[in-house]
Amino acid sequence: MDALASLLDGPRARGAFLLRSILRPPWGLRIEDRAPLTVVSVVRSEAWVLPGDGEPVRLRPGDVAVIRGPDPYVVADDPATPPRVVIHPGQHCTTPEGESLSEAMALGLRTWGDRDGVATLFTGTYQLHGEIGDRLLRALPALIVLPADAWDASLLPLLDEELNRDVPGQEAILDRLLDLLLTAVLRAWFSRPEAEVPGWYRAQGDPVVGPVLRTLHEDPAGPWTVASLAARAGVSRAALARRFTGLVGEPPMTYLTGLRLALAADLLCEPEATLGAVARRVGYGSAYALSAAFKRERGVSPREHRSAVAGLR
């Protein structure tokens, strides 16, 4: 497994929120759902994404945006259009004054908006922390936009078809389609020269550091040392440490610690996972050792992290 595959292994939608929106101009949606990650694609007409602290970005048919939460943002037909709908946590919809719109704008199976609408959007939302890996979220900018010709937009007709189905098991199919859609977009994004990707991603092509990164991602719980990694790479410890730090931006053991703790943070989102089991899976000899490292690096204990995540569910 390479580092990118390991990163993209995180998305696991569970009961994904997937919706087709049909909207009549002028339209504007203020999104305040605090979701960790949302994918928006335009099927017909166009839209603008207005991040809270950035410039408006236009979406044309087939274009896709990935928006990292939890900060609010606006999607509208024009940057000057004020929001007429507010999306709250739990996907509850109201007017800006607080009047509920959830029933008034329902248009049938997984479809919402105006009966005489022109613009058509697909929205897929990862609603809970733990569905998206901690490492993935930290590697992404607040907003990614890809034009239709820069990713596999052929997934959109398939999604359109599946949104119209109402058969047993459909929820699981839509979950996996959202994962597939996100993975296709992120793979295309990370390959673009303007993407601000982590140093470890660019280091994958290095003949020394690349194999070491793959080793760490394939077996993060292994009893690795700089010496054992250097032996596998066929270089001295000093040479590996210097080259790894120069390309990745941190020493090998620091990178491994961050990888292990990020994996632990994701695993702790599973209510049934014990601290001892998580510790063993990420390479710590005991729950105490994991707890001490987690607190030292992240400023909170595993228990506090789990409680904070549970409070967002």
pLDDT (tens digit, 0 to 9) for every residue of the chain, 313 residues total?
A: 466 666 666 556 666 678 889 999 999 999 998 888 899 999 999 999 999 888 999 999 999 999 998 899 999 999 999 999 999 988 788 999 999 988 888 888 888 899 899 999 999 888 766 656 667 777 788 999 999 999 888 888 888 888 888 787 777 888 888 888 888 898 898 888 888 777 877 888 899 999 999 899 889 999 999 999 999 999 999 999 999 999 999 999 999 999 899 889 888 887 788 999 999 999 999 999 999 999 999 999 999 988 877 665 5
pLDDT score, position 5 = 67
Q: Return the half-sphere exposure (C-beta side, CA atoms, 13 A cut-off) of residue 192.
A: 16
Do 108 and 132 fall into the same domain?
yes
* Residue numbers of the domain that contains 228: 200-311
195 part of a folded domain: no
Query: What is the model's pLDDT at position 6?
Result: 63
Measured in degrees and rounded to the nearest 5, phi and psi for residue 297 equal -85, -35
E strand or H helix at 18 = strand 17-23
Same domain as 207, residue 185: no
**Domain total for the chain?**
2
Task: Give the domain-ending residue among 190, 223, 242.
Answer: 190
pLDDT of 163 = 82
The CA distance from 258 to 174, in Å, is 32
Domain-embedded: residue 90: yes
Same domain, 41 and 162: yes
Question: Residue 87 domain-assigned?
Answer: yes
Longest Cα pair distance anywhere in the chain, in angstroms?
A: 68
Q: Based on the domain organization, do 214 and 169 belong to the same domain?
A: no
Cα distance between residue 256 and residue 57, in whole Å = 36
Contact between 221 and 281 under an 8 Å Cβ cutoff? The reply is yes
Domain boundary among 190, 209, 230: 190
At residue 210, what are phi and psi to the nearest 5 degrees?
-55, -55
Task: Using alpha carbons, list the distances in angstroms from residue 209 to 152, 212, 221.
Answer: 30, 5, 19
CA distances from 114 to 21, 118, 183, 229 (A): 8, 9, 31, 59
Q: Which of 129, 164, 190 is the endpoint of a domain?
A: 190
Residue-level pLDDT at 2: 60
Closest CA to 21 of 77, 68, 66, 72: 77
Query: Are both 212 and 113 inside the same structural domain?
Result: no
DSSP 19-77: EEEEEPSS-EEEE----SEEEEEEEES-EEEEETTS--EEE-TT-EEEEE-SS-EEEES
- pLDDT value, residue 17: 78
Same domain, 247 and 292: yes
Whether 140 and 224 map to the same domain: the answer is no
**Global pTM value:** 0.77
Is 211 inside any structural domain? yes
Side-chain-facing half-sphere of 231: CA atoms under 13 Å: 4
The CATH number covering residue 25 comes to 2.60.120.280
Torsion of CA 95, 97, 103, 106, to 10 degrees: 0
Is 9 domain-assigned? Answer: yes
Contact 252, 217 (CB under 8 A): no
